[in-house]
Every structure is written in C-alpha cells, then in structure tokens.
Structure 1
Amino acid sequence: MKKIGIIGLGMLGNAVAMHLLNSGFEITAYNRTTEKTKELREKGAIIASSPKEVAESSELVIIIVKDAEAVKQIAFGNDGIIEENHEKLIVADMSTIDPTESKNISKKFLEFNISKLDIPVMGGPNVAISGDLVMMASGDKKIFDECESILNTIANKVFYLGESGIAHSVKLAMNLQITMLALALSEGITLVKKANVDPKIFLEILNSTYFKTGMSEKKAFKMIEGKYEPTFTLANLKKDISTITNTAKNLGIELPMISKAEEIYENAIKAGLGELDYTGIIEYIRKNNE
C-alpha cells in the first residue's frame, strides 16, 4: 500500500499527511477549504476536488474531520467516497466520534464493499509530524493487519482493541482525562496565585511527585505565562466533551464531573475563548475570580 488519501487538513490532518508524504507515500488530499491544502501541494501531494476523487486515487483513505456528521457527508454525500466503485478500498477514521455512530458508519460502508477501521489518536500536530502519535485501532482484524505497517508509520504505539467502535470509546475516555487535568491545573494555579505563591513553585513541587503529568511538565508553564497557541482548541475539546456526555447517557451511566466540565467549557466558549488552546480554560477560571 503506497497510495494514501487524507480527507480533512486541520492541524492534525495536515501534520499526518506531511509525515506520510515525507515517509515516501503517495498522498492525495482533500479539504473543504482549499487554502489549507497549499503546504501539501507545494510538497508534492495531489490535491483532489472531492472525497470521491480521493477514493479514486487511493488504496487507503484516512478521514480526520470534526464530527460524525462530517464523516457521513464525506463518506455518503454528494461526490462522497462511496461514489467511487474502488475494489478493496479501506477507510480509516481518525476523527473523534460517538462509538455507536462509528459502528453504524462501518456497517453502511460494508454495503458498498468498503472496509473501515477506527484509528483515533492521542497527541497533537507537534508529534504527528514525526510519527509519534499513540493510536487506538478497532475493526476487522484482517483489515487492521493489512494496514498495520502504515499505522505504525503514523504512530509509535498502536493498540488494536477489537471490534468497530471500541477505539472511539477509549479515545473518549482519554479526552476525559485531558479535560480533568486541564481544569485541575487551572484551579491549582489560580489557587496558589491568589495565595501569593509563585505558581512555578507549585508546578515544581507537583512535578516532583507521583501526580505529575505531561501536561503539568509542559503546557502548565505556558498556562502561567498566558500562552495558549492551539494544538487542540478549547472549542474542539468542548465538542468531544459533549460526545462523552452523550455516550455516557447511551450507556446508562452517570459521569458527574464531565457533565460539570461540559458546562464550564460551554461558558468559556460564550466568553470568547473557543479558539484558544484547550488549556486556555484557565482564563475562564481566572476571570471568574477577578
């Protein structure tokens, strides 16, 4: 497999496509807004005019878009993937979507003899460009085995988890962790600053303990400095938080903390913070305590 299609050239999609291009794969890419295709075009990728055209040129199509509705439009809409009768085409969805939606999309693809894998990832464009993502994969094991070498090019760790939908369940659980860590750091930093303690000392102590995280070792210092250059926007995390709460309802479980977090992130977006990095939630906490 050398011909790979990429649909969705946001920050993550562009970085994945660039890494695969640099790794020697032939890339055909599509994005709804064509200005986001410029960098890949200059590096030698083929830029398609529709998802159908991507499917025509590819053996594997990777979708990296906002939500399930966008996936379905790309797959089944006008000039969608299914309009190309391409034998043995495989679709891999890297978007973060509801597990039930993922299963339904997989079933519909099979009606057109197209196999689909779920391949959501952890890590932003800064690690995607070097192939250092962590990937959760689910779907038909034979299809996974067929794509495994490509998936191992995209990610330095790939976890095969089983049947369709499972990878998205784990991805949502991972984004729940991100949400809580960002809020905990925001409140901890706010607390010590109000107590006239240098928050850097707080982070130094935190990072000397069992409770340190990658976020506390890296992004937290930028949070103190008010630097929120987005690798994953606050608005996008809010979208995923809503997917988590809806999934919890469908599973018949109560997750009280993520429900509260959904309210907080929604209010932060209303306050105009949606395009900041998700760690910009500290600005909402700070403003509420002025």
Structure 2
Amino acid sequence: MSKIAVIGLGIMGLPMAKNLVSAGHEVTGYNRSQDKVDAFVEAGGQGAGSVAEAVSGAEVVITMVPDSPDVEGVVSGEDGVFANAPQGALWIDASTIRPDVAARLAEAAREAGIRPLDAPVSGGEQGAIDGVLSIMVGGSAEDFAAAEEVLNGVGKTIVHVGPSGSGQTVKAANQLIVASNIQVLGEAVAFLEAYGVDTDAALKVLGGGLAGSKVLDQKGQKMLDRNFDPGFRLALHHKDMGIVTSAAREANVAIPLGALVAQLVASTVNQGDGSLDHSGLFKQVLKLSGREAEDQA
C-alpha cells in the first residue's frame, strides 16, 4: 500500500480520499477550508495544515482542484508540491484543466524529479463515492503502470490515452458530450411534460433503447424532481466548455453544437445558477419555453 497525499477535498476529492483509505493506503489530506480536512480525519484519514506538510514523504500526490490556476498554485512555489514532494514521487492531477497547461506542468514536474500524470475523472459525485470513476490518463506508460494500484482505489474504467496532456484532451471531449446530452435531455423532458406524458414511464422506456445513456440514468430524475443539488456544478462545466471550445479552435475543429451548448451553459451560470448541478441546464430550457413561471407555481 502507498503513502498518498490528496490536495483538494471537495465534492470529488473527499470521497476519492476516503476510498483510498478504505483500500488500505495511508492517506493525508489538505484543503483550504478546515472543515473538509476535519471531515476526512473523521473518516480515518490524516489531516495536514499545508500542501508542503501533506506531501512530505508521500509516494503519490493527487491534486483535485477546480481550474488550471489552482493546479499551478498548489504545485508551484516554495510551499508547493514540486518543491516538497520526494524525488521520484508520482503526481496524479485529477483536476480538469487545459491540455496545454497539463503538458507544461508535466515538464516542470519532470524537471523537479516528480513523475507526472494528468488523470481527470468522469462519473460525478456518485461515481466518486462509489469508487467507479472513469479515469483518462496522460503520461508515460511506465508511470501509468506505477499508478494503477492507486487509481484502482477510486476508479473502474482506467485507460492510458497517451502522453502528457492527452488525459485532459479526452476529458474535454467528455465534457462536450456530457453537456450536449444534458441539454438535449432537458429539452426532451420539457417536451414530454408539455404533452402531459407519464414522464417516469417515458424515461424508463427511453433508457432501455438507443436514447439510453448514463446522463439519462443519472440526470433525468433530477430534472423531474427539480432537484439540482450539485454533483457537478454548472460553474465548473462552464469552465470546461471554455476549455473545449478554445482547444477546438486551436485545432481548427468545428464544434457548432458544442459552441451553442457552451453559450447555454454560460447563460445559465450568468443568471446566477452556477452553484447548481449541471442538470440545472433544464431551468434554461423551461425559461426559453415560457414554462418557468409554471414550473415555480
């Protein structure tokens, strides 16, 4: 079993860290807010008061923070991962960030004697809790092999997809697909409701056919219940759609549907709903359909 540091104990990081404890690893967690550290300690982990303290002596460092600047902030500087983790330690960045930033930070990690992997995850909060995340990993094949035991503690589908930055590229594609699916699912639910269909029955039969998807399984009921408690916040998906639209432009790839969905996500966030689950895109569908007042009645 490994000595692991987890930096970032949020919606995804905390259950991931807990699962690593359950798998028998020695895990130290750090988060900027102390209540998250306290919750992890209650679950059997160890707490740290700084990044430097958390990574001291760690064989594996996992970062799970919101955005590219956050990752740079925790790995760089005198108190960062690169300056304080032992030589030869594995650094697994499970955050979702820009592919070019991931590649640049991977090079900086190697210069510091750290072995980098960009390993963003998909599956949402429930997937993190259940330990069944899909993990797309960029980096060297040797480092991927060394990290597999740890990754198996938090994920189910774990695939090496190429060199540094590749994991983030695949995650950008994932977020494009997920946002588009959520948007279309919301439109379908609004359509069904407008015709007075038994929506529970409708989603059941749709889920058994070609229209079935994990998005339908996990987000359909949330839309029916108008329950948008965050498993993955719209504000983060807004950030991710910025990543994919920017990366697509740089690659000269047209994503017309993705660009439209990105605007719908941005509009929902700009109206104050960034803290909602990304299934909250359904609220925008209702508003555009003139059904918002009816929904709130």
Same fold (TM over 0.5): yes
The 5 Å alignment of 1:138-153 reads: 138-153=138-153
Alpha-carbon distance in structure 1 between the residues aligned to 2:65 and 2:88: 23
Alpha-carbon distance in structure 2 between the residues aligned to 1:194 and 1:285: 12
Structure 2 match to 1:35: 35
The 5 Å alignment of 1:108-127 reads: 108-127=108-127
Q: Provide the secondary structure at the position in 2 that maps to 1:153.
A: coil
TM-score (norm 2): 0.93
Whichever residue aligns with residue 160 of structure 1, its letter is H
Q: Provide the secondary structure at the position in 2 that maps to 1:261.
A: helix
Structure 2 match to 1:52: 52
Alpha-carbon distance in structure 2 between the residues aligned to 1:85 and 1:66: 21
8 Å contact kept, 1:28–1:57: no
TM-superposed deviation, 1:3: 0.3
The 5 Å alignment of 1:239-250 reads: 239-250=239-250
Q: Percent identity?
A: 29
TM-superposed deviation, 1:51: 1.5
Structure 2 match to 1:208: 208
8 Å contact kept, 1:233–1:278: yes
Whichever residue aligns with residue 164 of structure 1, its letter is S
TM-superposed deviation, 1:249: 1.5
Q: Provide the secondary structure at the position in 2 that maps to 1:272.
A: helix
1:208–1:156 Cα change, 3 Å: closer
Whichever residue aligns with residue 250 of structure 2, its letter is N
1:226 aligns with 2:226: yes
TM-superposed deviation, 1:287: 1.9
Structure 2 match to 1:199: 199
8 Å contact kept, 2:7–2:29: yes
TM-superposed deviation, 1:78: 4.5
Write the deviation string for residues 91-139 of structure 1: whole angstroms up to 9, x where unpaired. 0000111111110000011111111011111112322233211111120
1:19 aligns with 2:19: yes
Structure 1 stretches of 4+ with a deviation exceeding 4 A read: none
TM-superposed deviation, 1:180: 0.7
Whichever residue aligns with residue 128 of structure 1, its letter is A
TM-superposed deviation, 1:288: 2.4
TM-superposed deviation, 1:217: 2.8
8 Å contact kept, 1:134–1:155: yes
**Which range is displaced more, 124-133 or 140-149?**
124-133
Aligned length: 290
8 Å contact kept, 1:193–1:199: yes
Alpha-carbon distance in structure 2 between the residues aligned to 1:115 and 1:55: 14
The 5 Å alignment of 1:67-82 reads: 67-82=67-82
Alpha-carbon distance in structure 1 between the residues aligned to 2:217 and 2:8: 31
Whichever residue aligns with residue 162 of structure 2, its letter is G
1:208–1:126 Cα change, 3 Å: closer
Structure 1 match to 2:182: 182
1:238 aligns with 2:230: no
Q: Provide the secondary structure at the position in 1 that maps to 2:29.
A: strand
TM-superposed deviation, 1:157: 1.9
1:281 aligns with 2:292: no
Write the deviation string for residues 191-222 of structure 1: whole angstroms up to 9, x where unpaired. 22223334334323422321211222342022
Alpha-carbon distance in structure 2 between the residues aligned to 1:141 and 1:270: 41
8 Å contact kept, 1:189–1:202: no
Runs of 5+ consecutive residues of structure 1 not aligned to the other structure? none
**Which range is displaced more, 78-87 or 95-104?**
78-87
Runs of 5+ consecutive residues of structure 2 not aligned to the other structure? 291-297
TM-superposed deviation, 1:10: 0.8
Q: Provide the secondary structure at the position in 2 that maps to 1:83.
A: helix
